Structure formats: structure tokens, C-alpha cells
Amino acid sequence: MQLKDIKTTILGTTGAGKTSYLLGMYAVMQTGVQGFTLSAKDMDMGLDLIERWEQLIALKGEDRWPSPNAAMIEHYAFDFSYGFRPIQGLELIDYRGLALSDRTNNQDVQELTGYLAESKCLFLCVSGEHLTDKITPNTVREIKSDRMNQFIQQYISNEQKPTKENPFPVAIIITKYDLCHHRDKQEVIEDIKKLFQALFTPDSGWLVMICPVSLGKELCNDPDNGNIIPVNTHLPIVFAVYSQLRTYGINQKNERDTISKNLDKVNNQNLMKWLKGKEVKDNSLKIREIDQEISTIEENMQLLANELQQVSLFLSGSEVTVGV
């Protein structure tokens, strides 16, 4: 079972650590988590990501960090697999953080907004350097949360129309969390909720994960020479796939219920025996196939849910427990 590729957009201003996060995430997922791995569909692209990651961990000094993305938009296509069996394709983009400040007639903004309208998941990157203390009005300008909120309003909520029954997944990734880990975690979460209030309103239909990530605890004191050991970088990808499996599982259950109702209707109809027998057989076979898919989906969801126990998850503003 391999599901249709899901498009995921990463929003964050220049310096938010989008590219570094992407490199750390890919490096961790190459080894795998609970049997799940991530591989680039283009092997040359995957090699490029690994080479950039190895350069990052090998170098010392400020040259170790990726320079701001000069290209307009870079596309990355991955297969998310279990036991090396692909179950979900993902497309991610990395783009110039300055696109959050550009006018809508700029080419990069137009490409970004087009991609947003087709996205099925959203990553918002907020650097921990701006959360070292309680947020102020200046924090909004620094991380451009107002602009990110505008993009969500204009290009996602209008197109996707999230509901509590069919929520839209958003991962708020606190990059460089080592810089603000001295604060109480709940205080940081409350600040994040203030920066993106609309995502936490009742009955809004947003499924939101707040996820702290870091490339290493030592980096808060020595970013140019500290050891790089990624923390939690895999969780946003796990969340994106979990959310897609959740949606697919709900759709499969709805389809099974519809077929079951049709089966009951056929059994109650006064049809020729051979015709009724064929319909009953076909519907029963389809139900068994769907039940098998649902069983596989739920097994994978449970493994992913185990990883997501350590993050805060909200549905329509209420904190929820990850489950199947």
C-alpha cells in the first residue's frame, strides 16, 4: 500500500533554520525510526543532501552553517517507507525566507502561493533565538508570524476549508530549541499559541503539533564548534505521514460503511438468486480488502503515534492525545 504523494510547504523567515532542519531530518531518517525510513526519489539529490550534512558536522566555525537559500524554490521528493516498503510519498520545498517579505507579484511569492494552495500539510519554522524570553510585539516582526498567518488565511483555509472532521495538519517547528530550552516548556507553548492564535480557536479544524527541534544541545553555547547531535528532527515528518494515514483511514472506514449499507440493501431486495449472489460476493470481497488496508494503516499509525507522545498536539484548540 502506497498512498498518493503529499505536498508539504515549509514557511519561515531567513535564518529560521529551514535548510539546516531539512538536512538534520534527512540524516536521521536515513538510519530510520521504528523501522520507518526516508529516501530521496532522486538518488543524486539524496547524495547531495548527505554531502551537505557531512560537511556541516565535519566543519568548525561559522562556515559550517548553510548560507541563506539564494534560489527561489528548491523541491525535494521523498519516499517514506516501513521496512523499505514505500507507504507515503512527500514533496517538500525550501525557498528564500525573504519571500515572506516580497510583494505578491514577485515570481517566488507566486510559486510559493501556488504550492501552498495544493499543500496537504504545513511546517512553520520559528527560531528559538526569538523565544529566549517572553514574546513582545517585536517578536512578531522578527519571525514574521503575521505574514505566515496571512499566507495561511489566503492560500490554505480558503482552498482546503479545514473542519474538525477533516482537519488540516500544521507542524509548528521550534528550530534551535537549544537557545530557549532554559525556559519552562509550557511557557514557550503558550507564546507559540499567541503568535498563531487562529490555529488554536475552537471548531477551527486545525490539527497542530508544536515540536521543539535542535541540531545539538551544545550549540546554544558554541554554535560554531559544538557537537551536532539532532534532537526531534524526525517528528514533523512522522506527524505529516501520521496525519495523512489518519485521513486515509477515516475515508476507508466511510467507504466500508457505505458498501456495508449497500450489501444490506442487496440482501433485502427481491433479485434473481445469481444476481444477488454476485453482488453479495463482490461487496463482501471489497469489504475484506478494505478491512485489510485499515488494519495495515492502524498498525503503522500506532508505531508513528508512539513517536509523537513527546510533543504537544491540538485539534481545534483543544489538546489531544495521539492515538489510532
Do 36 and 104 share a structural domain?
yes
Task: Provide the residue count of the chain.
Answer: 324
Q: How confident is the model at residue 261 (pLDDT cuts 50, 70, 90)?
A: confident
Do 208 and 71 share a structural domain?
yes
Structural domain range at position 300: 252-310
The enclosing domain of 122 has a CATH number of: 3.40.50.300
Residue where one domain finishes, among candidates 212, 229, 245 = 245
Do 52 and 121 share a structural domain?
yes
Do 167 and 22 share a structural domain?
yes
What pTM value is reported for the model?
Answer: 0.89
Do 63 and 114 share a structural domain?
yes
**What's the pLDDT score for residue 270?**
61
* Number of domains the chain is built from: 2
Do 221 and 272 share a structural domain?
no
How does the average pLDDT of the chain come out, rounded?
Answer: 86
Distance (Å, rounded) from C-alpha 98 to C-alpha 4?
31
Mean pLDDT score, 308-317: 91
**217 falls within a domain:** yes
Do 141 and 100 share a structural domain?
yes
Do 184 and 66 share a structural domain?
yes
**274 falls within a domain:** yes
DSSP states along 86-142: EEEEEEEEEE-GGGGTS-TTSHHHHHHHHHHHH-SEEEEEEEGGG-SS---HHHHHH
**180 falls within a domain:** yes
Reported as a single tens digit per residue, the pLDDT across 210-244 is 999 999 988 888 888 888 999 999 999 999 999 99
**322 falls within a domain:** no
Range from 28-37, 151-160, 254-263, 275-284 carrying the lowest mean pLDDT = 275-284
Instruction: Calculate ∠ Cα 92-96-97, nearest 5°.
Output: 100
Judge whether residue 319 has pLDDT over 70: yes
Judge whether residue 118 has pLDDT over 90: no
Comparing 159 with 81, which gets the higher pLDDT?
Answer: 81
**What's the pLDDT score for residue 242?**
93
For the chain, state the CA radius of gyration. 22
Residue where one domain finishes, among candidates 245, 279, 301 = 245
Do 27 and 54 share a structural domain?
yes
Reported as a single tens digit per residue, the pLDDT across 27-77 is 999 988 888 999 999 999 999 999 999 988 888 888 888 776 555 677 899
Judge whether residue 286 has pLDDT over 60: yes
Distance (Å, rounded) from C-alpha 26 to C-alpha 34?
15
Residue where one domain finishes, among candidates 229, 245, 261 = 245
Q: How confident is the model at residue 136 (pLDDT cuts 50, 70, 90)?
A: very high
